[in-house]
Amino acid sequence: MNNPKDKYEYVSSATLPTRWGQFRIHGFVETDSGQEHVALSYGEWQPDDIVPIRIHSECLTGDALFSTRCDCGFQLEKALQNIVAEGKGVLLYLRQEGRGIGLLNKIRAYHLQDNGMDTVEANEHLGFDADLRDYAICKLMLEKLNVKRVSLMTNNPKKRAALESLGIEVVSRTPIDHGITKDNKGYIRTKTEKLGHEFDPHLLK
């Protein structure tokens, strides 16, 4: 039987200066599909240290094009700032656009949302589950970076459950209630009510 690790491969690492500090970027690939993912690491730690991490799924519109109809870009920036403030940490950047449906299907879903559907209804109308993301590669990424125990930055409890199922010890979970705007409050309410994300309810009024 093939080792599940054979599905994923580490490729290379390099320095990555950013506005917040100098990170290292590490490349990984899914060998079956060719899908590429990266991790950003900052600082140093011992194997038993608790390391702050963020699992961030790619969002071209929010991360690179500054869209405010989601909170993704805001959370990405805040996570990197938090890591630098802590003096160490890791951001796992997974190429899972639109909760796994891909960029063009996400734009189709946006069109449906413009006409009254919420984000879950739009994905399902297109024939997809509400969330198709897979976090299995996180295990290899964290092992490569010598991370065994984490403090997870997320509003999504399913990410904690996914890491724990992979054998990663999640010592704590810290929400990122950041980047809530008039354009994305409805989107965030849907994530809270239908996908189980946890936000401060006072911020969604």
Catalytic, out of 63, 71, 118, 131: 131
CA-wise closest residue to 80 among 53, 47, 50 = 53
Going by DSSP bridges, is the β-strand pair 22-30/50-57 parallel, antiparallel, or unpaired? Answer: unpaired
Cα 147–Cα 60–Cα 23 angle in degrees, nearest 5: 35
Question: Does residue 149 carry a catalytic annotation?
Answer: no
138 has binding-site annotation: no
Catalytic, out of 24, 95, 133, 160: 133
Question: Does residue 19 carry a catalytic annotation?
Answer: no
CA-wise closest residue to 56 among 132, 147, 152 = 152
Instruction: Output the CA–CA distances (angstroms, integers) from residue 176 to 11, 13, 155, in the order listed.
Output: 30, 28, 6
Read off the amino acid at residue 169. Answer: E
97 has binding-site annotation: yes
98 has binding-site annotation: yes
In which region does residue 94 sit, left (phi positive, over 0), alpha (psi from -120 to 50) or beta (all else)? beta
Binding-site residues for Zn(2+) sit at 59, 70, 72
Binding-site residues for GTP sit at 54-58, 75, 97-99, 119, 154, 159
Binding-site residues sit at 54-59, 70, 72, 75, 97-99, 119, 154, 159
Query: Looking at the annotation, which residues are catalytic?
Result: 131, 133
